Amino acid sequence: MSRLRAKPPFASYVKVASARVLYCRLVLHRRYGSFNHAVTRLRRILLAACALGCALALLGTTPAFAAVLDGDMIGGVKVADAPRLRARGMAPDLYVPSGVLSTMQGRILWARDPESQRAMASTTKIMTAVVVLEHGNLDDVITVDRLAASVGQSSMQLRVGEQITERELLKGVLVQSGNDAATLIAEHVGGTVPNFVKMMNAEAARLNLVNTHYVNPHGLDTPGHYTSADDLTTLARYAMTFPLFREIVRHHSLTVHSNRYTHVLISQNALLLTYKGAEGIKTGWTNNAGYCIVVAAKRGPIELIGTIMGANTEPGRAQQAKALLDWGFAHYRESRIATAGVTVGRVKVSDYVERTVAAVSPQTTSTPVFDIAGPVRRRIALDPSVAAPVRKGQVIGTETVFQGTTLLAQLPLTAGAAVPEPTAGQRFVFFFERIWRAVFG
C-alpha cells in the first residue's frame, strides 16, 4: 500500500517563488546594472516593436473607405447617375479625397471633387517654373543670399555666397523641390518674392485657374495658398508644352554645379523609376496638403496626366497614382476608325448617265477612344455629284466620327478611281438618253 505524499505547506511555495524572483533580479542586475533599468529597457524595446509594427502596417495597407464615390465623374457622367459605372473595373478604386485624370489634350476621364480648394504643397513649384520660363533669363548668374538659404524644409542645400545660374536653380526647384532654390529664383525674376507671387497669380488668372491663389513660390503651408485638382491638372498640361520643363521633370536625379559646389538632386517621385512611361511631373507634402502628386505618363500615342491630392502616406500616394494611370491606359486606347481603300459610299459622276465613283478612306486612321464613354458612331457626308474628269484621290466627301457628343475625328473621303471626261460621241449618246428618260421614264 503506497503512502500518500503530503503537500508542502503554502509557506514553501512562497519561499520558492521568492528565491526565483531574487535570482531573476540578480541576473538582470548583473546584465543591466539595476532591476528598474532592466524594466525600462524592456519597456523601450516593446514600444519600439509596437511603433515598427504600426509603421509597417501603415506602409503596407491601404485605407478601405470610399473606393468609388457617388460624386465621381467618369467621362463626364456621375457615378450616382449611372449604376453600370460601379461594375468591377469601370471606375478606379481610389481612397484619395480629390483628383483628376486627363489626357494631354484636355479630355477629363475621371474626376473626384475636382474644384475644391486645397493646400497644394510643393506642386506650387510647377507655377514657379512656368513664370521663370516665361519671364526669366536662364543664363543669369545669381548669388545665394541669406533669405533663400534659410527657408528650410525641402532644400537643395544652397550656401550663402555661392553663385549659380537660373537654369541650374530651375532644376533644383523641379527635381529636388528646393524651397531655397524657389525663393532665390523668385527674388531674382520678380525683384522681390512678393512681386514674383503677383506674377504667379497673374499667370493663374491668364490660364483661368479660378480656384487657385498663391502666397509663396515654394508651397509651405500658408493661409490663402490653395489650388484645386482641376486647376493643377490644367497648369501641368500647360507646363508640359515647354520643352525644357519636360526635359527636367523626367529625371529622378540630376547633378548641378555652382561656382563652388556640386549639388546632387533627388526627386521624391518614385514612379519615375517604377512606372512604365512615366515622364514626371511633381510631388508635394505638407501637414495641410497631405501627400500630393501630378504625374504624366506616355505609352505609345497615349499621354495622360493624373493628379492626386491629399493621400495619407507617401507609398499610398504612389499606389493611388499608379492605380489611376493603369485604369486610364486600360480604358483609353488607340482604336482604328478608318481603313485605307475601304468604300463607304458612291458619288454620281454628273457628266455620265449612270456612272458613279467609289468614296474611300484615303488612309488607315486610328484615334484614342475612351471605351466607357459608349459606342463610336460615324456620319458620312458625300457630295451630291462630281463633274468629270475625276482624279483618283480627289476629295468627294467627309467622314465624321463621334463618341457621344465628343468629336473624335473628321476625315476626308476621296475618289477611289479616276473617271475620264466623256468623249464627244459619248456626250451625244448621253444627250439623247437623257431626253428619252425624261419623256418615257
* Residue the block writes with cell 524644409: 153
Among residues 98, 125, 282, 322, which one is catalytic?
125
Q: DSSP for 319-368?
A: HHHHHHHHHHHHHEEEEEEE-TT-EEEEEEETTSSS-EEEEE-SS-EEEE
3 state SS for 237-256: HHHCCCHHHHHHHCCCEEEE
Q: Is 177 an active-site residue? A: yes
Active site residue 171: no
Other C-beta atoms closer than 10 Å to the C-beta of 28 total 18
340 with 363: CB under 8 angstroms? yes
Cα separation, 427 vs 407, in Å, equals 43
Give, in order, the Cα–Cα distances in Å from 137 to each of 132, 133, 189, 236: 8, 8, 8, 21
User: In 3-state terms, what secondary structure has residue 54?
Assistant: helix
Answer whether 295's CB lies under 8 Å from 306's CB.
yes
In the set 102, 122, 154, 258, the catalytic residue is: 122
Please state, in angstroms and as integers, the Cα–Cα distance from residue 393 to each residue in 33, 390, 396, 416, following that order. 97, 9, 9, 6
Q: Angle of helix 229-239 relative to helix 124-135, nearest 10 degrees?
A: 30
- Among residues 102, 154, 155, 177, the one annotated as catalytic is 177
Known catalytic residue at 125: yes
Residues with a known catalytic role: 122, 125, 177
